[in-house]
Amino acid sequence: MSLAKSIPYNLKRYPPAEMRRRAEEFFAEMKRRRTVRDFSDRPVPREVVETCLRTAGTAPNGANMQPWYFVVISDPAIKREIRLAAEAEEREFYERRAPEDWLEALEPFGTNPHKPFLEKAPYLIAIFGQNYHFDENGQKVKHYYVTESVGIATGMLIAALHHAGLATLTHTPSPMKFLNRILDRPPSEHPHLLLVVGYPAEDATVPVISKKSLDEIATFI
Ligand code: IYR
């Protein structure tokens, strides 16, 4: 392959005071984001989700292969099928597979194998990482840094949805292979996570938790 054509990059620049203000404002907004486990069934405008997915699709990624695929589920029958499959895995996890220390770490969050939100929330977004694709000549093309790329895109999606006023839950039933079967996705794709999207239930609560301070998460050297 040859070198891509290049064009000037006009990054929007701000004076330092405005940069500080923008950074503070964004931090304040992102700090308000909380994972929610009780969802309302209130419908969400589809175009909002579409635009947030476009935002996710701008994520930096390995060799611009854009190794992600999002299946947005609102069909009640498919949501039910996913709930039943996820709950079966989760029962295995909570009752057998999970080691004691993991269950202890989860205790403050009161999570359990019951996942009613998988049916109640208006949208589930199943996020897949694509390990490879086939080009127009049927040649297999490998993708690079798939986990990193899909992780970044997912973070951007969560931020975009929050910014638009929607709550999310990053759900990771394990193993998640059932998503390939139910959603008819090819073997080149592996499920990354299942994002539950909607409004919080009127009476939704969130656990009181704290975030590490800047000193705990970063050093400047
Ligand atoms: N996947 C399980 C368990 C779980 C694990 C972690 I780490 C969490 O932060 C939350 C839940 C579940 O969804 O219940």
For residue range 47-87, what is the model confidence (pLDDT) as tens digits?
999 999 999 999 999 999 999 999 999 999 999 999 999 99
Q: Is 173 exposed, middle or buried (0-12, 13-18, 19+ CB in 10 A)?
A: buried
Omega of the bond leading into 175 within 30 degrees of 0 (cis):
yes
Place of tokens 């997912």: 154
CATH number of 39-201: 3.40.109.10
Q: Which atom of ligand 1 is nearest to the CA of 105?
A: 7
Tokens (6 digits) for 162: 């929050």
Q: What percent of the chain has pLDDT above 90?
A: 97
**Atom 2, ligand 1: which residue's CA is nearest?**
173
How many whole angstroms from 171 Cα to the centroid of ligand 1?
Answer: 7
Q: Where are the alpha helices (DSSP H) in the chain?
A: 16-31, 46-56, 76-92, 100-106, 117-120, 146-163, 178-183, 214-217
Average confidence (pLDDT) over 167-180: 94
What whole-number distance in Å separates Cα of residue 136 and Cα of residue 80? 36
Question: Domain residues of the chain, as ranges?
Answer: 39-201
pLDDT the model gives residue 106: 94
0.85 cut: is pTM over it?
yes
